[in-house]
Amino acid sequence: MQLINPFTQPGKFYKANLHTHTTNSDGLFSVNDRARQYKEHGYSILAITDHHVVSDIKGLADENFLVISAMEMHPPCPPDFEVYHLVCLNVPFGLKLPEDSDANTWVRYIKEAGGELIFAHPYWCGHNVSHMNNIEQFIAVEVFNTTCTHIGKGFSSVHWDDNLDQGRIIGGVAVDDCHSDIDMFKGWTMIKAADLTINSVMDALRCGSYYCSCGPVIENFEVVDGIATLKCSPVSEVHFMGRRASGGSTYTNDGETITQASIPVGPANGYIRAEVVDEKGKRAWTNPIMLADY
């Protein structure tokens, strides 16, 4: 499977938060207040993902701000964990899940309703790649979750690479998973879409046309003639990460930054993705470019 490289596609980057809670479940702000907060902070896309509740988002969107009807569902996770945390995007208001069903029955139900799934914060949950393999279909994993940083488990890049290593080609998103006012605006996904409509945004998410960040800006990432090149805002580290032990890193001296790095790549890498770190420790992630079929 191949993901589309957003940096080679027409369209525009839109800033998105894809995991948001309100007073309809365990958040501290109403749906209207959440939409206002993210719109005023410069976001173009917000998904309202209350637990097992699809909120009414009527009247919240306009030509410059898209609100996605969504929810977070928690099907059982056998054999030794209680539940999965799966973010379901583009599901209709009023959707009710069938009772007493297994995880993949719920997954198929969401897909039949036109939705797509993101695997939420696996590190925080204690899920490993075996647990993730039990889920038939999801398009991305939360590589960063703001709320999970409160116990030091906000990053799930190892889980992402484990999936990629096995040939499950998925994207990585950064989200807030906000519940209060201390976990907003700290992780976002930059979605490259043809326009700010639900169909274009969902198409972009399905094919991996995005990157995600906690701060740095990715300006370009491509592989040309066996060389992977990344261009970005000033950072102190650039990591190229491939299958298993392949890849390479560039570090700067104290007080110095770089805005570009390159590395030779080939089929032995399997895939290549980039991760950058700025002077404040903030990170950004590209989606993988596949270099071999496996």
Q: Are residues 140 and 249 in the same domain?
A: no
Nearest to 207 by CA among 290, 113, 122: 290
Query: Among 213, 243, 265, where does a domain finish?
Result: 213
In the chain, which ranges are E strands? Answer: 12-17, 45-48, 66-73, 76-77, 81-83, 86-89, 116-119, 140-145, 171-175, 188-193, 210-213, 218-224, 227-235, 237-242, 247-251, 258-264, 271-277, 283-286, 289-290
Q: How far apart are CA 69 and CA 91, in angstroms?
A: 6
For residue 99, the model assigns a pLDDT of: 85
- Number of folded domains in the chain? 2
Q: What is the CA radius of gyration of the chain?
A: 18
Q: Are residues 66 and 173 in the same domain?
A: yes
Q: Are 109 and 87 in contact (CB under 8 A)?
A: no
Pair of tokens at residue 149:
């940083």
Q: Are residues 36 and 177 in the same domain?
A: yes
Is 41 a domain residue? yes
For residue 1, the model assigns a pLDDT of: 60
For residue 195, the model assigns a pLDDT of: 98
Give ∠ CA 209-120-3 in degrees, rounded to 5. 20
Q: What is the DSSP letter of 68?
A: E
Q: What is the DSSP letter of 267?
A: G
**Low pLDDT (below 70) residues in the chain:** 1
Q: Are 28 and 179 in contact (CB under 8 A)?
A: yes
Q: Which CATH number covers residue 261?
A: 2.60.40.10
Q: Are residues 159 and 229 in the same domain?
A: no
Q: Are residues 224 and 241 in the same domain?
A: yes
Lookup result for tokens 């997954």: 107
What range does the domain containing 285 cover? 218-290
Query: What are the residue ranges of helices labelled H in 10-119?
Result: 31-40, 103-112
Q: Are residues 181 and 238 in the same domain?
A: no
Mean per-residue pLDDT of the chain? 96
Q: How far apart are CA 128 and CA 246, in angstroms?
A: 22
Give ∠ CA 109-210-179 in degrees, rounded to 5. 65
pTM recorded for the entire structure: 0.97
Is 1 a domain residue? no
